[in-house]
C-alpha cells in the first residue's frame, strides 16, 4: 500500500538538537515510523530523557552527545553511531539558535556563533554522516532551514539568522546535486513561525506578535508536531524522487 512508503522500519535516523521543540517532535515521529532513532544532543539531561521516553514507549532509541559546532565531535559521533547501530540511513540537521539583533549592533562573536551552529553545524554533520551514505550508495538528509532563508522577517531584526538559513538552503541544493548519483537525497524544510522557545520572546512583544500572526494567512503559529511529518516524508521512500527541494511549512506566510 502507498502508506507503507512512509515507513522507516529497519532504518537508523539521527536527529540533532532533538532534546526539545521541533527536534523532539521529529524524533518522536521518526520512532513512530519505525526507525531506530538516535538523539544527537549537546544536553545530556534532555538527550537521555528523550531516548528514555522513546524506549519506554517501545521504540528503539539511543542518545549520543553532539555539539554540532565541533567537527571533531561530529566525526566521533558518526563513528559511534556506525559502531553501535551498524549504519546510518537518515540524518535530520535540526540544531539551531536565533538572535534578534540589529545589524549595526551585532557583535562579531554573535554573528560567528549563529553561523557556527546553524550553517557550519549542518555542513559538518552532512559531511561526516553523509560520508557513510555516499560510500554505501543510499541515504536521506533532511535539513531544517526556515522561511527566513527565503524572505526577510519583520519587524524583528535578524540578519545573521536569515543569512544562516539561506546558507542551509543553498547547501541543501549543492549537496543534493553532488550526491544524487551516489543514491543520497538531500532536502530541506522551511518552517514558518513555530511555537517553541525560539519564538516565546517574540510572542511576548505585542508589535512582533501582531505582525507575525497578521502576516500569516492561517493566523496562528505552528505546533512543533506539525513540522515533524514533513521530515518523515522527506526521509522515507515516499520521497524517493525528491532531492534538492525546500518544503515550506509556514501557514501561508510566504504566499503573500
Q: One of 59, 161, 193, 253 is an active-site residue; which one? A: 161
Q: How far is it, in rounded angstroms, from Cα 166 to Cα 109?
A: 20
| Separation CA 224–CA 17 (nearest Å) | 13
Is 59 a catalytic site residue?
A: no
Q: Tell me: cis bond preceding 242? Omega within 30 of 0 counts.
A: no
If you compute the radius of gyration of the chain from its CA atoms, what whole number of angstroms results? 17
**Closest listed residue to residue 193, CA positions, set 206, 208, 181:** 208
Pairwise CA distance, residues 133 & 182, whole Å: 8
CA 66, 142, 3, 227 torsion: positive or negative? Answer: positive
**Among 247, 226, 251, 222, which residue's Cα sits nearest to residue 235?**
247
Gap between the Cα atoms of 82 and 74, Å rounded: 12
Grid cell of 134 as nine digits:
555516499
Q: Tell the residue number behind the cell numbers 561526516, with chain if given.
A: 128
Q: Read out DSSP for 75-128? A: HHHHHHHHHHHS---EEEE---------GGG--HHHHHHHHIIIIIHHHHHHHH
The 10 Å Cβ neighbour count of residue 62 is 20
- The residues annotated with a catalytic role in the active site are 161
Amino acid at each position: 500500500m502507498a502508506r507503507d512508503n512512509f515507513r522507516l522500519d529497519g532504518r537508523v535516523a539521527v536527529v540533532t538538537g532533538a532534546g526539545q521543540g521541533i527536534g523532539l517532535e521529529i524524533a518522536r515521529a521518526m520512532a513512530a515510523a519505525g526507525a531506530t532513532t538516535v538523539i544527537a544532543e549537546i544536553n545530556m539531561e534532555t538527550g537521555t530523557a528523550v531516548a528514555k521516553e522513546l524506549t519506554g514507549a517501545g521504540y528503539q532509541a539511543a542518545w549520543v552527545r553532539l555539539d554540532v559546532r565541533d567537527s571533531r565531535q561530529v566525526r566521533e559521533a558518526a563513528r559511534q553511531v556506525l559502531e553501535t547501530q551498524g549504519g546510518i540511513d537518515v540524518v535530520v540537521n535540526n540544531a539551531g539558535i536565533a538572535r534578534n539583533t540589529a545589524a549595526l549592533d551585532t557583535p562579531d562573536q554573535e554573528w560567528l556563533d549563529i553561523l557556527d551552529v546553524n550553517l557550519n553545524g549542518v555542513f559538518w554533520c552532512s559531511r561526516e554522516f553523509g560520508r557513510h551514505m555516499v560510500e554505501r550508495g543510499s541515504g536521506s538528509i533532511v535539513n531544517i532551514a526556515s522561511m527566513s532563508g527565503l524572505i526577510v522577517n519583520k519587524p524583528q531584526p535578524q540578519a545573521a539568522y536569515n543569512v544562516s538559513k539561506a546558507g542551509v538552503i543553498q547547501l541543501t541544493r549543492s549537496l543534493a546535486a553532488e550526491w544524487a548519483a551516489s543514491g543520497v537525497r538531500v532536502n530541506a524544510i522551511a518552517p514558518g513561525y513555530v511555537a517553541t522557545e525560539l519564538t516565546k520572546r517574540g510572542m511576548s512583544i505585542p508589535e512582533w506578535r501582531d505582525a507575525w500572526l497578521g502576516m500569516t494567512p492561517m493566523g496562528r503559529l505552528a505546533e512543533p508536531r506539525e513540522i515533524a511529518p514533513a521530515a518523515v516524508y522527506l526521509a522515507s521512500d515516499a520521497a524517493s524522487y525528491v532531492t534538492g527541494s525546500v518544503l515550506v511549512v509556514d501557514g501561508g506566510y510566504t504566499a503573500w
